[in-house]
Amino acid sequence: MKIVHNTETQDDPLSLEELANINAYWRAANYLSVGQIYLLDNPLLKKPLKLKHIKPRLLGHWGTTPGLNFIYVHFNRVIKRQKLNVMNITGPGHGGPGIVANAFLEGTYSEVYPNISQDEVGIKNLFKQFSFPGGIPSHCSPDTPGSIHEGGELGYSVSHAYGAVFDNPDLIACCVVGDGEAETGPLATAWHSNKFLNPIKDGAVLPVLHLNGYKIASPTILARISHDELEKLFVGYGYKPYFIEGSDPEMMHQRMAAVLDSAIAEIKAIQHEARIKGVTERPIWPMIILRTPKGWTGPKEVDGHKAEGSWRSHQVPLSEMATKPEHVALLETWMKSYKPEELFDENGTLINELTALAPTGIARMSANLHANGGLLLKSLQLPDFRKYAVEVPAPGQVLAEATRVMGCLLRDVMTLNYEAQNFRVMGPDETNSNRLGALFEVTNRAWMASKLPEDDHLAADGRVMEILSEHTCQGWLEGYLLTGRHGFFSCYEAFIHIVDSMFNQHAKWLKVSREIPWRQPIASLNYLLTSHVWRQDHNGFSHQDPGFIDHVLNKKATMIRVYLPPDANTLLAITDQCLRSKDLINVIVAGKQSQPQWLDMSSAIKHCTAGIGIWSWASNDHNDEPDVVMACAGDTPTIETLAAVDLLRQHVPDIKIRVINVVNLMTLLPSEEHSQGLSDKDYDSLFTTNKPIIFAYHGYPWLIHRLSYRRTNHKNLHVHGYKEEGTTTTPFDMVVLNELDRFHLMANVVDRVPRLTQSGAYIKQYIRDKLIEHRLYITAHGKDMPEITDWKWPSRPYNNSDNE
C-alpha cells in the first residue's frame, strides 16, 4: 500500500523501548481479544490447546478488532504524555472484544466486575462470558465501562462523539468510524457536525476513519476510491486528514504516534487560539484515516484461502474446530504469536512495564467520567412553570398557541442553566416554525460556517442546534444526554419516524443501563412532536403518520412516557415533569396552532398529575350514570369531542355525557404493566362497565384498543382516530375525512346510546346536512365554515345544565 507521509509529522517519535512496549501492549490486547472469541479454558495457553478448551459456538468479529486495539494503545500514550481527557467512541459495532480487552488491561473491568479479576482465573472468566449465554454481547454495550455507544445498528458514532464534546471544553472524543459504518446515511452527514463545534466552549472530536476494506463480504466504498478522492472528500467535509496506511507494525506504530502527536497539537492550537482571540472563523480540525488489513495479525491463510486482509477475517477466521483439528493447531499458533508468556506473569497479571503504559484513574478511557454521564449530571434549574400559565377564566374562552407558551418556559430554562452550560435544544430547522422562538431571546442557533447579514440568530455559542437531519439531531442529543446533560428535540410528527431505529437503540440502552449498578441515571430524552397529523394544509398524502407513538409503545413500558396535552397549561405542566425525569424517553405530542384553552393552571396540574380524568365542567352525568362516555386524547380530538358534546347537549338536552380527557397515555395500560397504569377498579369507575365509550384519539385508533383490550368495558369502546385519509385540505376537513370530527362523533353517540337510536333520526339528518354544507363551503371558499372556526365552548352552558 502507498504510504503518504504528511510532512508536518515528526518521523519516528518512539524510542526503541517505547516501540517495543507499545507493541507488547497491543499484542496483549489482541491476545485477550482472540481469547474472548475462542477460549473457554486454558486462558494463558499454559497447556497444549485442545478442542475442549474452545467454545462450542464461535461468535464474534475479529476483523476490526486489532485495528481498534492499535488505536486504543496509541491514545493511551498521548493521554498519559499530555494529561488529556479522552473518551472513546467505537463505531465498528462488533469490535467489542478489543474494547473489553482494553478496559480489562486498564483495570477498570475488574473494578466494576470483581469476578473478572486481573489474573488467570479472571482472564478465564473474561473469555468465557464473551458472546456466551448470560455473559456479554460481542459488541460494545452498556456493560462495557467507558462506552456510551451501542455497537448494534451502525451509523451514529460521529454524532454521538460531537454530542459528547459539546459544552465539554476539555474533552476530546476519540471516535473510530468503520468503513462499513461510513456508508450509512446518518454517518455520511454527521461529518458536517464540525460546522457546529465551538472551539472555545466545546471540546474536540478526533475522528479515526478505519479502513479495513470490507463489510461482511463486499468491499467498502471508501476503501476503494482513489487516495486523491478520499483526501478531497474529507477536505470537502472540512477536515485535515492524516493518512496512516500499512501493515508493518513497527512502521505503523511510529507513524501513528507521530500523527497523533500532530493531531493533538493541532487541536490544542486551535482551541488555544480561539480561547485567547475569540472565534474568528471555523477551524479545520484534524482527522485520521487509518488503513490496516482486516484481521491484522490474524492467520494469513486458512484452508488455502487468504484470511488476513480479506473479507474472510470479518468474523471468526477459524471455525469448524471439531472437524478440522488443524484449525485447533492454527489457533494455538496464532494466539502464541502474541507471546502471552512475555505479557502476563505467572499469575496471569499484566507485567508492570505494560501496566505502566496505561493512564490511571479517571484518565483511563474506560473510566472516563463522561462515559458514565449520570455521575456528572446536575439537575436542571427550572423556573416555576406556573408563571407562564395562560389565564383561562373559563374553559374554552381564550385561544393560545401551546408550543409558543412552552417556548417561554424553555427560554427561561436556557437562561437559568446558562452558567451550567448543560441544556440544548435540537431540531431540524423547525425551532421557529414550531413556535419555540422565545428561545432566540436568550440564545442563538449554533453556527460556525460563514454568515450573511440577513441571517437570523446565528452564533458560534448558540445553544439551539438545527441541521436538516433528524438522525444528527438525535445522535447529538443522545451523546449530550449520555454524558450527563439535558436536552430537548422538537420535530414535525411525521418526520420523527426517520429516527425510529435510533430511538429503539437508545431505549434498549436505557433498559440495560438501569440493570447495571455502576451506571448512574441520566436525563431523559424528551421529544416534542408538533406540526402533527391533523394539519395538512398544504401537504398532500405523502408522509403523514402519527405512528411514532405506536413504535414507542412497543418498547418496555417502564422506560416510556407518551403525553398528549390538550392545551398550553397542560403542556407546561408536562414539560416540567419531563425535564425533571431521568432515564426515560418522553414523547409529547402537541399542536402549535392557536386553539382554545381548557384548563387553568391549577386544574392543569391536577389533571397532569393524574394523567387522566373526568372533565366535570364539560360533563353532565354528576351523581348519575352517564348515557355515554366521551373520551379524548390529543388537542384536536379534545376540540372535536367538546364540540360534539356541545352539539349533543343542544340537540338532546337530557343526554347524560361524561367527558374524559387522557393526557398521559400510559394510564390506559393495566397497572401490572406500568406504574402509571390505572387499576381495573379505577378504570372501570371512569369508563363504566357497560356504557358506550366514544374515544377520539390523536393517532391510529387500534392503539387505544391495544392498550385497553383487557378492560371490562372494552366491548363498548369505539375509537375514532387517524385512518390514513386526507390530502391537501383544511384542518377541519382533515378530521372529517378521518371521521374524527364533531359530527361523526355525534353520529356514533346516537348510534350507540340505545334510547337515541330511534329518536335520533332527526339528529342524523342534521349531521348529514352539516357534512354536506361543510364540503360545499370548503370547495367554494378554500377554508372552513365560520361556524367551525368560530365555534366556542359555551361560557354559560345550557339552561338545562346540571353542572353548575
Question: Per rule CB under 8 A, is residue 12 in the interface with its own copies?
Answer: no
Strand 657-662's sheet: what is its strand order? Answer: 612-614, 657-662, 628-633, 693-697, 717-720
| 384/725 with CB nearer its own copies | 725
**Contact between 315 and 96 (Cβ < 8 Å):** no
Residue type, 223: A
**Start-to-end Cα distance in the chain:** 86
**Contact between 451 and 457 (Cβ < 8 Å):** no
**Contact between 461 and 200 (Cβ < 8 Å):** yes
**E strand or H helix at 695, and its extent?**
strand 693-697
Point out which span in 67-75, 540-548, 561-569, 687-695 binds its own copies (CB under 8 A). Answer: 540-548
**Contact between 395 and 599 (Cβ < 8 Å):** yes
Query: From the list 11, 456, 790, 804, which residue makes contact with its own copies (rule: CB under 8 A)?
Result: 456
The CA distance from 269 to 266, in Å, is 5
C-alpha closest to that of 466 among 425, 502, 503: 425
The CA distance from 255 to 252, in Å, is 5
63: β partners: none
Question: Per rule CB under 8 A, is residue 625 in the interface with its own copies?
Answer: no
Reported residue count of the chain is 804
Q: Going by DSSP bridges, is the β-strand pair 612-614/585-589 parallel, antiparallel, or unpaired? A: unpaired
Point out which span in 13-21, 496-504, 599-607, 756-764 binds its own copies (CB under 8 A). Answer: 496-504
Question: Per rule CB under 8 A, is residue 155 in the interface with its own copies?
Answer: yes
Query: From the list 136, 263, 425, 660, which residue makes contact with its own copies (rule: CB under 8 A)?
Result: 136
Question: Per rule CB under 8 A, is residue 240 in the interface with its own copies?
Answer: no
The CA distance from 261 to 11, in Å, is 11
Question: Per rule CB under 8 A, is residue 711 in the interface with its own copies?
Answer: no
The CA distance from 771 to 501, in Å, is 41
Minimum separation from the CB atom of position 28 to its own copies (A): 23
Count CB atoms within 10 A of the CB of residue 106. 27
C-alpha closest to that of 310 among 210, 211, 180, 212: 212
Question: Per rule CB under 8 A, is residue 666 in the interface with its own copies?
Answer: no
Query: From the list 329, 441, 625, 709, which residue makes contact with its own copies (rule: CB under 8 A)?
Result: 709
**Contact between 618 and 642 (Cβ < 8 Å):** yes
| 421/539 with CB nearer its own copies | 539
| 354/734 with CB nearer its own copies | 734
Minimum separation from the CB atom of position 608 to its own copies (A): 26
Question: Per rule CB under 8 A, is residue 643 in the interface with its own copies?
Answer: no
From residue 48 to residue 87, the character string flagging contacts with its own copies as x (rule: CB under 8 A) and all else as - is -------xxx-xx---------------------------
**Subset of residues 95 to 134 that bind its own copies, contact rule: CB under 8 A:** 128, 131-134
From residue 359 to residue 398, the character string flagging contacts with its own copies as x (rule: CB under 8 A) and all else as - is ----------------------------------------
**Contact between 63 and 95 (Cβ < 8 Å):** no
**Subset of residues 24 to 53 that bind its own copies, contact rule: CB under 8 A:** 40
The CA distance from 611 to 572, in Å, is 14
**Contact between 462 and 442 (Cβ < 8 Å):** no
**E strand or H helix at 89, and its extent?**
strand 85-90
**Contact between 434 and 405 (Cβ < 8 Å):** no
**Subset of residues 291 to 330 that bind its own copies, contact rule: CB under 8 A:** 306, 309-312
**Contact between 667 and 677 (Cβ < 8 Å):** yes
Minimum separation from the CB atom of position 452 to its own copies (A): 7
C-alpha cell at 365: 478511557
From residue 246 to residue 285, the character string flagging contacts with its own copies as x (rule: CB under 8 A) and all else as - is ----------------------------------------
Question: Per rule CB under 8 A, is residue 535 in the interface with its own copies?
Answer: no
| 652/694 with CB nearer its own copies | 694
Query: From the list 51, 235, 269, 329, which residue makes contact with its own copies (rule: CB under 8 A)?
Result: 235
Minimum separation from the CB atom of position 481 to its own copies (A): 18
CA dihedral 239→243→249→253, nearest 10 degrees, is: -50
Q: Give backbone dihedrals phi and psi of 63, rounded to 5 degrees, phi first.
A: -45, -50
Point out which span in 22-30, 243-251, 532-540, 623-631 binds its own copies (CB under 8 A). Answer: 532-540
Point out which span in 345-353, 371-379, 547-555, 593-601 binds its own copies (CB under 8 A). Answer: 547-555
C-alpha cell at 631: 373520551
Minimum separation from the CB atom of position 650 to its own copies (A): 27
Minimum separation from the CB atom of position 94 to its own copies (A): 8
**Subset of residues 552 to 581 that bind its own copies, contact rule: CB under 8 A:** 554-556
Point out which span in 111-119, 201-209, 337-345, 497-505 binds its own copies (CB under 8 A). Answer: 497-505
Minimum separation from the CB atom of position 181 to its own copies (A): 7
Question: Per rule CB under 8 A, is residue 163 in the interface with its own copies?
Answer: no
Minimum separation from the CB atom of position 627 to its own copies (A): 23
Point out which span in 208-216, 388-396, 592-600, 619-627 binds its own copies (CB under 8 A). Answer: 208-216
| 324/783 with CB nearer its own copies | 783
C-alpha cell at 417: 442553566
Question: Per rule CB under 8 A, is residue 8 in the interface with its own copies?
Answer: no
For the chain, give me the number of helices (H) and strands (E)?
Answer: 26, 22
Query: From the list 76, 88, 141, 676, which residue makes contact with its own copies (rule: CB under 8 A)?
Result: 141
| 355/433 with CB nearer its own copies | 433
Query: From the list 65, 254, 505, 638, which residue makes contact with its own copies (rule: CB under 8 A)?
Result: 505
Alpha helices in 468-567 (DSSP H): 470-482, 500-514, 548-553
**Subset of residues 774 to 803 that bind its own copies, contact rule: CB under 8 A:** 778-779, 781-783
| 303/724 with CB nearer its own copies | 724
Point out which span in 398-406, 544-552, 570-578, 580-588 binds its own copies (CB under 8 A). Answer: 544-552
**E strand or H helix at 733, and its extent?**
helix 731-737
**Contact between 745 and 694 (Cβ < 8 Å):** yes
Minimum separation from the CB atom of position 395 to its own copies (A): 28
Buried b (16+ CB within 10 A) or exposed e, 729-753: bbbbbbbbbbbbbbbbbbbbbbebb
Question: Per rule CB under 8 A, is residue 543 in the interface with its own copies?
Answer: yes
C-alpha cell at 545: 403518520
Residue type, 645: V
CB neighbour list of residue 562: distance below 8 Å, 6 or more residues apart: 549, 552, 553, 587, 589, 664, 665, 666
Query: From the list 146, 186, 246, 797, which residue makes contact with its own copies (rule: CB under 8 A)?
Result: 186
Count CB atoms within 10 A of the CB of residue 85. 17
Residues in the interface with its own copies (CB under 8 A) total: 129
Query: From the list 449, 761, 772, 776, which residue makes contact with its own copies (rule: CB under 8 A)?
Result: 449
| 25/509 with CB nearer its own copies | 509
| 539/603 with CB nearer its own copies | 539
